[in-house]
Chains A and B, each alone.
Chain A
Amino acid sequence: MRTIVIEPTFEAWRGRARELLLEGVPPEQVLWSDEAEEPCLFGAETAPSSPRPPASAGPSLKVSSAFMDLARTTAAHTAASRWGALYRLLWRQTRGGEPHVLALATDPDVRQIQGWAGAVRRDIHKMHAFVRFRLADTDETTGREYFVAWFEPEYRIVPLATPFFKKRFASMDWSILTPHACAHWNGTHLHFTPGQPHNPIVKEDTLDPLWRTYFRSIFNPARLKVQAMQSEMPKKYWKNLPEASLIQEMIATSQSRMQEMLDTEARPARPAPRNAYLDSLRQRPAPES
Chain B
Amino acid sequence: MDIDRKLEILADAAKYDASCASSGATRKDSRGSKGVGSTGGAGICHSYTPDGRCVSLLKVLMTNVCLYDCHYCINRRSSNVQRARFTPEEIVSLTLDFYKRNYIEGLFLSSGIIQSADHTMELVISVARQLREKHHFRGYIHLKTIPEASPELIAVAGRLADRISINIELPTQQGLDLLAPEKNLARTEAAMGHIREKIDENREARRTAVAAKPPPFATGQSTQMLVGADAATDASILLRANHLSGHYRLRRVYYSGFSPIPEPSVILPLKPPPLVREHRLYQADWLLRFYGFHVSELTTESGPNLDLHLDPKLAWALRNRGSFPIDLNKAPRESLLRIPGLGVRSVDRILSARRHTRLRLADLLQLRLPMKKVMPFIITADYTPARSGLDGDALPTVFMPPPQQLEFSFDGPSPTPEDHSASRSGEL
Per-position binary interface string of chain B over residues 246-258, scored 1 when its CB falls under 8 Å from any chain A CB and 0 otherwise: 0000000000010
A50 at the binding interface (Cβ < 8 Å): no
A168-B36, A273-B67 are contacts. A281–B182 as well, Cβ < 8 Å?
yes
Indicate whether A241 sits within 8 Å of B47 (C-beta atoms), given known contacts A215-B55, A228-B52: yes
Q: Which residues of B contact A107 (CB under 8 A)?
A: 366
Q: Which parts of B19-64 form the interface with A (CB within 8 Å)? A: 29-38, 42, 44-55, 58-59
A287 to B58, CA, bound (A): 34
B175 in the interface (beta carbon within 8 A): no
Is A211's beta carbon under 8 Å from chain B? Answer: yes
Q: Are B101 and A289 in contact (CB under 8 A)?
A: no
Q: Which residues in B have their C-beta under 8 angstroms from that of A247?
A: 50
Q: How far is the CB of A38 from chain B (nearest CB, A)?
A: 31
A110 to chain B, nearest CB (A): 9
Chain B residue, CB-CB nearest to A101 = B356
Q: Are B100 and A172 in contact (CB under 8 A)?
A: yes
Partner of A168 from B38, B268, B415 at Cβ < 8 Å: B38
A218-B55 in contact (CB<8A): yes
A226 in the interface, Cβ–Cβ < 8 Å? yes
Q: Which of chain A's residues have a CB closer than 8 A to the CB of B35?
A: 171
Which residues of A100-120 are within 8 A (CB) of B?
Answer: 100, 103-108, 111
Contacts of B37 in A (CB 8 A): 168
| Residues of A contacting B34 in the complex (Cβ-Cβ under 8 angstroms) | 171
**B321-365 interface bits toward A, Cβ cutoff 8 Å, 1 = contact, 0 = none:** 000000000000000000000000000010011011101000110
Interchain CA distance A219-B355 in the complex, whole Å:
48
B67 touches A269 (CB 8 A): no
Q: Chain A residues near B38 (CB, 8 Å)?
A: 164, 167-168
User: Shortest Cβ distance from B97 into chain A, in angstroms?
Assistant: 5
Q: Which of B59, B272, B415 contacts A218 (CB 8 A)?
A: B59
- Contact among A106, A219, A273, A289 for B359, CB-based, below 8 A: A106
CA distance A269 to B265 in the complex (A): 7
A16 to B218 alpha-carbon distance, docked (Å) = 49
A211 and B42 CA atoms in complex are apart in Å by: 23
Contact A267 B33, CB 8 Å, known A106-B366, A223-B257, A226-B50: no
A272 interface hit (Cβ, 8 Å): yes
Interface class of chain B by DSSP: loop
Complex interface: chain B residues within 8 A of A229 (CB): 48-52
Q: Which residues of B contact A65 (CB under 8 A)?
A: none
Measured between beta carbons, the chain B residues less than 8 angstroms from A1 are none
The CA of A169 and the CA of B71, in the complex, are separated in Å by: 42
In the bound complex, do residue B184 and residue A286 qualify as a contact, i.e. CB atoms below 8 Å apart?
yes
Chain A residues with Cβ below 8 Å from B33 are 170-171
A255: shortest Cβ distance to chain B, in Å? 8
The verdict on B401 contacting chain A, using a C-beta distance below 8 Å, is no
Per-position 1/0 for B119-136, Cβ under 8 A of A: 000000000000000000
Contact at B48–A147, with CB atoms within 8 Å?
no
In chain A, residues 123-162, which have Cβ atoms closer than 8 Å to a Cβ of chain B? 125, 128-135, 145, 147, 149
Tell which of B10-18, B199-207, B297-305, B312-320 binds the partner. B10-18
A134 to B35 Cα, complex, angstroms: 18
Please report the total number of A residues contacting B with Cβ < 8 Å: 83
Stretch at the interface among A4-12, A53-61, A77-85, A257-265: A257-265
Q: Is the CB of A233 within 8 A of B47?
A: yes
A209:B420 contact, CB within 8 angstroms: no
Bound-complex Cα distance A168 to B34 (A): 12
A–B Cβ pairs within 8 angstroms, 14 of them: A106-B357, A106-B367, A170-B32, A214-B7, A220-B259, A227-B52, A227-B417, A231-B417, A232-B45, A243-B47, A255-B408, A261-B264, A264-B264, A272-B77
Q: Which A residues fall within an 8 A CB radius of B?
A: 100, 103-108, 111, 125, 128-135, 145, 147, 149, 164, 166-172, 205, 207, 209-211, 213-229, 231-233, 241, 243, 247, 250-251, 254-255, 258, 260-262, 264-270, 272-273, 275-278, 281, 284, 286-289
Chain B contact residues, CB within 8 Å of chain A: 3-4, 7-9, 11-12, 14-16, 29-38, 42, 44-55, 58-59, 67, 69, 71, 77-80, 94, 97-98, 100-103, 115-117, 139, 148, 182, 184, 186-187, 189-190, 257, 259-268, 270, 272, 275, 349, 352-353, 355-357, 359, 363-364, 366-367, 408, 415, 417, 420-421
Known: A100-B355, A268-B266. 15 other contacts (CB 8 A): A103-B356, A106-B349, A130-B46, A207-B101, A214-B11, A218-B55, A223-B51, A233-B48, A247-B50, A261-B264, A264-B264, A267-B266, A269-B69, A270-B78, A287-B186
